[in-house]
Every structure is written in structure tokens, then in C-alpha cells.
Amino acid sequence: MNARGIPGFLGGALLDLLLPPRCHICRTQCSGADPLHICDDCTAQLPFITEPFCSVCGVPFSATGDSHPCGRCLTDPPPFQAARAVFTHTGSCRDLLHAFKYAGQAHLRRPLGLLAARTLVSFAGHCRADLLLPVPLHRARLRSRGFNQALLLAELLSRHWQIPLQRQALLRTRPTVPQMELDRNARLHNLNDAFAVASPALVADRRIILVDDVTTTGSTLRECALVLKRAGAAAVFAVTISHAP
């Protein structure tokens, strides 16, 4: 009998025996019991964001102490209620995201999405969200890349958090230069009028969690949240995999 004829658990065990899973980071063999497929040593070295961080935008602080709003959020409050990221955008996290986003390794959405689902589950519960919305790509970028990384992550988060996913409520109306290719000043203006809501009825009076892969200056999340609030969203939150330090 081949693996397809064996019930799921036994079939998976047989496949792990024949083709042992390898850590996505160091490529050593690791246990197939955890679907992350990241070994314990590499997991321990991932740059998880811990307190203190900005209690509004989620930017990590280098000092010690309690979480509190950062200077920017005090002087220029964002249109979203709160945002959180799992990691600082450094080291192995950055490498995984680059492979996922730019090297076509879409399977990496699983470990990245699972880490986000586990780490930010309390935050998601606090949001009491009605919908998850992925940050959209312009159709030209989508054709070039072949997938929207934010949508792939949002699909997994939707399943784990049991929050409905709305794929097309938020639209990208014009192509933009990738944020990471710009300096801070250019990033702040690059996304002006780049997003629109397909129909206000899709978001009106809803509590929404935006999903994206990386937060740099926060301009993308701010612009998306502003458009959603103008369309009548009751509250907007955001989650990303990483945040630039």
C-alpha cells in the first residue's frame, strides 16, 4: 500500500520517515511533529519582538521598560488603532521573507503564517475583528510575482483565528515603487491615493485587521487604514510578520 492509501496520520509519518523534513533556515533534519519545520536552535535565534514596543504602531524599542506610544504616534497618530509584528526585520526572519516574497518560495507562508498566528493570537482576540483584509498588490506586480504574499498569509491567519477573510474589499489603484527601495521621505508620499475600497458596504461598521508582510515606515498601513476609515470602517488594526528596527 502506498502513502495515499494510508490514513492521514500514518501517511504523514511514513513520508517523514522516507523524506525527513528539513529546517527552513539551517536545512538540518528536524522533527515532523511541528508543522513549522524550523528546528529548536533556529527558533531560539529568531528575532521575536518583545516588550517594550510602541503600544500603537508596534515599533520595537531598544531601551528597557514598559511599552508606550512612540513619539511619532503621539505627534501624528495613525488612522489605525494598533499594529503588531512578530519579528524585527533582521537575520533569519528577513532571509525567510525575502525568499518567500522575491524568490517564489510560496511554501514559506506556512511557517511565517503559523508563527504569526501563534504569537499574535491574543492581539487578534483583543481586536474583536469582523474581517481580515490583505494589503493588495497592483495587478502588474501580481502578474510579475505570481501571488500576493499578504493574501497567502491572511488565508492562513483567517483559518487559525476563525476570522472571515475579504479578499477584494481593498484595491490597489496604481502601481508604486516598492517601499524598501525608497528613502524615508519618499516612502511617506509614495502611497498617496494608491488604495481604494471596492464598495463601502463591504467595510462599513466593521472591525478590520489588515495583514501585510513587512512594516517599514508604516506608510502602507496608514494609507490603507485611512481609506478604510473614510469608507466607514468602525476600527482598523494591523498585523505583519516583521517590523523594521
Q: Dump pLDDT digits (tens) for 126-157.
A: 999 999 999 999 888 888 888 999 999 999 99
Please give the Cα distance from 79 to 233 (Å, whole number): 11
At 33 the pLDDT is 62
In the chain the domains, ranked by start, together with CATH numbers, are: 1-44 (no CATH), 46-243 (3.40.50.2020)
Please give the Cα distance from 45 to 92 (Å, whole number): 8
For residues 123 and 83, the answer to whether their CB atoms sit within 8 Å is no
pTM of the model as a whole: 0.87
Q: What does pLDDT average to over the chain?
A: 88
Q: Dump pLDDT digits (tens) for 205-238.
A: 999 999 999 998 898 999 999 999 999 999 999 9
Residue type, 120: L
Three cell numbers at 179?
517601499
Answer left, alpha or beta for residue 37, where phi above 0 means left and psi between -120 and 50 means alpha.
left
At 139 the pLDDT is 86
Using alpha carbons, select from 189, 172, 170 the residue that is nearest to residue 233. Answer: 170
Confidence band, pLDDT 50/70/90 cuts, at residue 10: very low
Q: Using H for helix, E for strand and C for coil, what is the string for the chain?
A: CCHHHCCHHHHHHHHHHHCCCECCCCCCECCCCCCCCCCHHHHHHCCECCCCECCCCCCECCCCCCCCCCHHHHHCCCCCCEEEEEEECCHHHHHHHHHHHHCCCHHHHHHHHHHHHHHCHHHHHHHCCCEEEECCCCHHHHHHHCCCHHHHHHHHHHHHHCCCECCCCEEECCCCCCHHHCCHHHHHHHCCCCEEECCHHHCCCCEEEEEEEEECCCHHHHHHHHHHHHCCCCEEEEEEEEECC
The owner of cell 515603487 is 177
